Amino acid sequence: MTQTSTPLVENWIDNGARKSTDDNLYVVQHPNTHNQPHAVVSASEEDIDRAITSAHLAFKSWKKTTHDQRRDILLKAAQILRKRKDDVYEAYSSELDVNHHFVDFLVGITSSMIETAATLIIPSLTGEIPPTKRDNEALYLCEREPLGVCLALAPWNAATNLSIRAIVNPLAAGNTVVFRTSETTPKTHAIWGSIFKEAGLPDGCLNIVHTSRGNAPAVTERLIADDRIRHVSFTGSTNVGRQIGKLSGYHLKPCLLELGGKCPVLVLNDADLNLVVNQSLFHAWVNAGQICMATERVLAGGSTYDKLIQTYKDNAPENASSPVAMASSHQRIVGLVDEALSKGAELVIGNWPPSKEDVESRKIPNIILTKVTPEMSIWTEETFGPIAIVVKVEEKQGENEDEAIVRYANESRYGLAASIYSKDITRVLKLAKEVEVGLLRINEGTIGDESVCPFGGCKDTGFGRFNGVEGIREFTQIKTYSIAL
């Protein structure tokens, strides 16, 4: 039992804040200031059962609502979110080192996601009448129907938009949701309860439970194992995603996994190098690189590499450092860079090692490395920090430069996003078909998530799609009716 006098963040069940059935609490500590802004209820076994039971009962009526009833609630939620952006900032900045500009940006993206899901309900759920070989003896109807209670597991980085897509897509399809928050940003995630209540979402359609880091594996397993949970979505690390996928498979639950990335930028020999450099610096360093789509690798052939390195140096900003969210992340990232430098990697931009002040406040210098080789861990591991590597691509016999760049891009075990820079769109589109990613961006940085388009990856990045028509359909199943005529 943990006793504390700090403000308390409670579970959200049946459209109201609920204390736990026991006294288990944990205290949030800001990773950079070390402040302790609030304590959080750590859900008990009984709390979890209450949340699932509530969602299960609410599903019986919510699945019968019309598309326009759901649409109106979602559109109102988006309006309320915009009005409450200061509340979002207050919550998020108390838990992580984020500024007002970044939070306003996220609120804009998140509101758009909610509105887009609202407008896509009809095309997403429209069924089919397939042809039949039974002449005029039968008619077949294929209907998309909701699954039931969906479990949402979302991370702390980009906390609003990465959580809302796991909430709004199942709600739009007629499901109810149990959302297990990140132990790093529970107050930020908890704000969805009051927003959707104000928007008119009925009791039980969205229940929110919290858990401490130590209890998270057991609570997650308990949630997935419950027969009333009919779908699981998870955004986070590949290592944890493997465990989520294993549990979901064992319990025969469909799951959607959006996991790690090692996103490459493919620089062809006719690329605008100033554009490449300016955009890759932003996409590598924004939010301290703690974005799954962050630029981690910049790949250039021998005809371009030297000019590209010089362009980085010519456009180098003043040295700066960015805050990372966890002590373990700070140690891991420092270890990756130290190992690379000890084995021959070189700094192109930035300073190393972190200063004493950086270490105390868990900041990592924004850097660009080159002369990184496959023997170095940073070649393959996702850094999730403000770091990118510039790689000189070597061609194999019988291979042209473009083919070699694509080969390097595909050597990663991840397959989330990539960028290609070139002035020749035909050349780019031919190469794009060979790049193993879920999202390919042309002449723009790797980070981008358009709410009308499906989003997800392949290989160790996971499977399934959020957003767009496909994102809502992920949370449905097809029922076929056979009607004798």
3 state SS of 121 = helix
Among 21, 8, 17, 16, which Cα is nearest to 48's? 21
Query: Taking the C-alpha atoms of 450, 321, 341 and 312 in order, what is their torsion angle to the nearest 10 degrees?
Result: 60
Q: Residue type for 437, please?
A: V
Catalytic, 292? Answer yes
Residue with tokens 């302790």: 36
Give the separation between CA 74 and CA 196, rounded to whole angstroms. Answer: 8
Among 268, 261, 276, which Cα is nearest to 444's? 276
Strands 295-301 vs 229-235: parallel, antiparallel or unpaired: unpaired
3 state SS of 90 = helix
Pair of tokens at residue 448 = 């981008």
Pair of tokens at residue 105 = 């940006």
- Active-site residue (options: 255, 263, 292, 296): 292
Catalytic, 263? Answer no
- Active-site residue (options: 10, 95, 115, 258): 258
Read out DSSP for 28-65?
---TTT-----EEE---HHHHHHHHHHHHHHHHHHTTS
418: Cβ–Cβ under 8 A, 6 or more apart, which residues? 263, 264, 265, 266, 409, 435, 437, 439, 440, 441, 446
Among 94, 96, 53, which Cα is nearest to 209's? 53
Exposed/middle/buried for residue 442 (C-beta within 10 Å: 0-12, 13-18, 19+):
middle
Give the separation between CA 73 and CA 179, rounded to whole angstroms. Answer: 18
Give the separation between CA 316 and CA 374, rounded to whole angstroms. Answer: 26
CA 139 from centre of chain: 42
CA 222 from centre of chain: 23
> Catalytic residues, which ones?
258, 292
